[in-house]
Amino acid sequence: MTKTPFIKARAVSKTYIMGDQEVHALRGIDLDIAQGEFTAIMGPSGSGKSTLMNLIGALDQPTSGHMLIEGHDLSTMRPDDLADLRNRTLGFVFQQFNLLPRANALQNVKLPLRYARHRSIDADARARECLELVGLGMRMDHRPAQLSGGQQQRVAIARALAGNPRIILADEPTGALDTKTSEDIMDLLGRLNASGITIILVTHEPEVADFARRQIHFRDGRIESDTRRPR
Amino acid sequence: MKLSVAIASAIEALFANMLRSFLTMLGIIIGVASVMTMMAMGQGAKARIDAQISALGASTLTMRPGARRRGGRSLGAGAATPFTEADVKVLRSLPFAHLVSGQLNSSVTAVSGQTNWSTSLTGSDESYFAIHDWKPTQGRLFNAREVRSGAALAVVGKSIVKNLFDGMDPIGQRIRINNVPVTVIGVLEEKGQSSFGSDRDDVIIIPLTTARNRIIGAHPTTPKNVSRIELMVADGYDLKQAQNDLGEFMRERRHIKAGADDDFMVFNIADFIRARAATQSTMGVLLAFMAAVALFVGGVGVMNIMLVSVTERTREIGLRMALGARGSDIMVQFLAEALVLCGTGGLIGIIFGFAGAWVAAKTGDWALSISPQITLISLGAAVAVGLFFGFFPARRAARLNPIDALRYE
Ligand SMILES: Nc1ncnc2c1ncn2[C@@H]1O[C@H](COP(=O)(O)OP(=O)(O)OP(=O)(O)O)[C@@H](O)[C@H]1O
Ligand SMILES: [Mg+2]
């Protein structure tokens, strides 16, 4: 079964200039990710995993090469269009959850819907739906400080889901969680993937990576291996 | 993002930092209170001046013999030929003259029973009351026939009733003015203090002829003299124009050669009061200056705290951008915070402004007048400061690069 690739990296390089020193975070990456794939990116610290995630997430631009999402070259898009793309197509899950501390779970999940343009979404209903989906229907008015780490990460996943994204980018989503909680989170991501959402995940833990059918290993800014597990 | 949502979350953000928000608002509060007090004072003073002008006759010209003071030298009124009743009569036929009244004034001692009272006497004709829009509260005024016949009648101000009659009904009572007995026929409505601080109700007004013939005495060379003529300009005539025309007419009538100085003066009371009021507005200027400084300092304070807030919340800004906020959304969010900060400061300032205006009205002795416009302008000043000083921090936030903001430590 071949799917049309809808995330494409072509000769993508990212070089940071630190004083008079150049740090080559990515050295000419070519990568295709098809719709509906569940991909885990692994590799040693500093090998460029987060850098690639930021480029796919339209948060940053490559030094050279092209990053395409659904056929759109990100380097040619205006900042506002990139913001709309992030709002509409992408969902982010961070290692440190990044919830607003003063807002409760429901308000946190509604946050991306504030920025939804040209779409009429009943933000409240949609946010409740997403929280139900991640199993937090009973915790909607809890603030982050009143939730466990795993629950906070589920709120963050609900937030990523709120805008109905086609891609979820999760950079070490289980990095701050224990094994049991990590498994719950991965089960959740697996279910989301089963519903058709493309998931790209960065992790250091092989058990976590095993939830993904495709595993890409990075080393020193290059792809070292790219393997698919049969269904 | 809707503005209402932005404002709601801005209010929340400010409450989260209540003390800091309040301290930041302080400058705005003082500024707005000053703006408001200043404008209320200006309006109150203007209302008072207008009241004074209309009390004295907004369209009245006053004419006296004597040259205008120049070089510290003054020809006293006595040196110039006085006006006469004939002048008054001729002036009445001028097209722009609605009412003309000739008067004589003198300081006198009035006696009723055992009570003495020093007061000022005005001898005038019946037009005087119409020109000054002065009505009796008790009794009546004297008429033209009584002026011609030199009747021994008097109309008195409220202060005379108080000081000479101990507040009792004076109608029909006799008073002796410099030993000449007259009968009180009317009491005039109260006018209060003049802008010069004198009591305008401390007067006795009697017919002109009675005053000249029996109390003050006629001018040695000019019988039927009057010391002053008041002319009320008819509707539809320009006051300034009338002032000039009257001057020209009198120069001709008094045979003053071209180039020679006038030997009389024509005043326009309204001008006189306005000129005096202008010198009183230093207080207003001071307040305006204070308001401007306070608003500026307040604005800089707001800008400073907004910059701090942007820095503190860099990661939050990055998160919002990752979730799809455009630069303009971030801009609106921070502008809303600056606006809420200044708007709240403005509202508190308005409360203090009311207090300030009230104190100013009390000490300045005028009616408290705070129009909705004043309140709106004051609030508008606060909002303008918020927009102006909030713009730079908001733009800085909006221009952050998403990934740099998100990874900011
Ligand atoms: N903003 C930056 N400025 C300078 N160098 C950077 C910056 N971001 C990343 N780098 C460098 O780029 C390289 C790749 O970083 P990246 O964050 O992608 O690593 P990573 O694979 O995600 O590592 P980890 O597993 O520790 O998260 C590293 O050497 C890092 O020091
Ligand atoms: Mg990383």
Helices H, strands E: what count in chain B?
14, 12
Residue A193 Cα, gap to closest chain B Cα (Å): 20
Instruction: Classify A166 as helix, strand or coil.
Output: coil
Residue B31 Cα, gap to closest chain A Cα (Å): 32
Q: Which ligand is nearest to the CA of A219?
A: 1
Do B277 and B49 touch, CB atoms closer than 8 A? yes
Give residue B55's pLDDT. Answer: 65
Task: Please spell the DSSP secondary structure of B119-188, one letter per residue.
Answer: EEEEEE-THHHHHTT--EEEE----HHHHHHT--EEEE-HHHHHHHSTTS--TT-EEEETTEEEEEEEEE
Task: Please spell the DSSP secondary structure of B208-257, one letter per residue.
Answer: HHHIIIIII---SS-TTEESEEEEEEPTTS-HHHHHHHHHHHHHHHTTPP
* Minimum-distance CB partner of A87 among B5, B319, B323: B323
| Distances B391 to A196, B319, B331, B376, B386 between C-alpha atoms, Å | 43, 21, 8, 22, 8
Q: Which domains does chain A have, with CATH numbers?
A: 5-100+164-228 (3.40.50.300)
Residue B18 Cα, gap to closest chain A Cα (Å): 14
Enter the ipTM: 0.94
Longest dimension (CA), chain A: 54
- In terms of Cα–Cα distance, which of B336, B316, B334 is closest to B402? B316
Strands B60-65 and B153-156: unpaired
Whether residue A25 has its Cβ less than 6 Å from ligand 1: yes
Run of H or E including A4: none
CA B203 and chain centroid, separation: 25
Task: Give nearest CA residue, ligand 1 atom 29.
Answer: A46
Q: What is the CA radius of gyration of chain A?
A: 17
Span A195-216, pLDDT tens digits: 999 999 999 999 999 999 999 9
| Distances B292 to A165, B282, B381, B386 between C-alpha atoms, Å | 51, 15, 10, 14
Do A97 and A153 touch, CB atoms closer than 8 A? yes
Do B91 and B231 touch, CB atoms closer than 8 A? yes
What is the B65 CA–ligand 1 centroid distance (Å)?
98
Q: Which ligand is nearest to the CA of A13?
A: 1
B residues 282-311 near A, CB within 8 Å?
none
Span B271-327, pLDDT tens digits: 777 776 666 666 677 777 888 888 899 999 999 999 999 999 999 999 999 999 999
Instruction: Classify B307 as helix, strand or coil.
Output: helix
Judge: B323–A159 Cβ closer than 8 Å, yes or no: yes
Do B171 and B182 touch, CB atoms closer than 8 A? no
Q: Scanning every residue of chain A, which has its alpha carbon at the shortest distance from the alpha carbon of B3?
A: A114
Span B39-71, pLDDT tens digits: 887 777 777 777 777 666 668 899 988 876 544
- In terms of Cα–Cα distance, which of A94, A86, A210, A88 is closest to A157? A94
- Cα–Cα distance between A46 and B404 in angstroms, integer? 17
Which residue out of A18, A24, A47 has the highest number of ligand 1 atoms within 8 Å of its CB and is therefore the one to mutate?
A47
Low-confidence ranges of chain B (pLDDT < 70): 1, 54-58, 68-79, 194-196, 276-283, 364-366
Strands B180-188 and B153-156: parallel
User: What are the chain A neighbours of B406 within 8 Å (beta carbons)?
Assistant: 59, 98
Low-confidence ranges of chain A (pLDDT < 50): 1-2
Task: Give nearest CA residue, ligand 1 atom 12.
Answer: A25
SS3 string, A118-144, reads: CCCCCHHHHHHHHHHHCCCCCCCCCCH
A–B interface: beta-carbon pairs under 8 A: 59
- Cα–Cα distance between A80 and B84 in angstroms, integer? 87
pLDDT-above-70 percentage for chain B: 90
Task: Give nearest CA residue, ligand 1 atom 16.
Answer: A48
